[in-house]
Amino acid sequence: MAGEPPSPAEEPGATNGCEQCKDFHPAPEIEGETPMGSERTEMRKRQTSAAQETPSSTEAQPDEGNRGSNACCFCWCCCCSCSCLTVRNQDERTRAASHEHRTDTIPDSEESSTPTLEDVNTWAQSFDKLMRTPAGRNAFREFLRTEFSEENMLFWMACEELKRESNKKQIEEKARLIYEDYISILSPKEVSLDSRVREVINRNMLEPSQHTFDDAQLQIYTLMLRDSYPRFMNSAVYKDLVQSVSEKSAEA
């Protein structure tokens, strides 16, 4: 009818929709080719998927960064690449190497003459007489090694060496080494001391002297006297030594 607007089908250029919507109408399929509409649909799916994944990936990156940087502080486990863990491992290896080096420098035994039968019999009279002679200390140290408590004798000997030192710098250095080797809870050669003695040592370490470890040395001496010495007198180490010295004395 005149005056009525033309229907959409009659508008010029109108086919399957307006120009803006033509992308949504599939084009006629040509054999051997993928329909353009399917390509556009697939492309939109990929773009939508990529758009949805991008924010989540962006948000995840800071979290991963924070987790990596704070792993040492906030969780009990940590990756091998963590710088803090690497430094900690290096410190532990350095400390262990230092302990091994100082252990290697400790002689297996003190220089001493071969004990006589009289010397060996004297050791049975008192622990004090045993500890007075290098040969007695060597024999007792050999026994302590079988009981995995050699550190008690090593600590006592280190304290005796410290008492003979007069140079202030050497005193400070030796006191530090004694603390690291025998007092620190991180040391594999830590000796058994009560809390009172440890507090005294910590105060004394502020100004180390020849007598910094006197209380600790006395406590370890008493421990060896009451605990290890009686077992030493009944041990194969002591009995074999008595037999060996007796045979040499008889031959002479």
pLDDT score at 17: 46
pTM over 0.95, yes/no: no
Predicted confidence (pLDDT) at residue 163 exceeds the cutoff of 90: yes
Instruction: Reply yes or no on whether the pLDDT at 90 is more than 70.
Output: no
pLDDT band at 212 (very low <50, low <70, confident <90, very high): very high
* Closest residue by Cα to residue 154 from 168, 174, 137, 175: 137
Q: Which long-range contacts (CB under 8 A, 24 or more apart) does 221-228 make?
A: 221/131, 221/156, 223/152, 223/192, 224/127, 224/140, 224/144, 224/152, 224/153, 224/156, 225/127, 228/140, 228/143, 228/144, 228/147, 228/149, 228/152
Give the pLDDT score at 204: 96
The pLDDT, as a whole number, for residue 18 is 45
- CA distance from start to end of the chain: 150
Domain ranges of the chain: 117-251
DSSP 195: H
Superfamily of domain 117-251: Regulator of G-protein Signalling 4, domain 2 (1.10.167.10)
Q: What is the pLDDT of residue 15?
A: 46
pLDDT in tens, 105-123: 445 556 667 899 999 999 9
User: Which pLDDT belongs to residue 180?
Assistant: 97
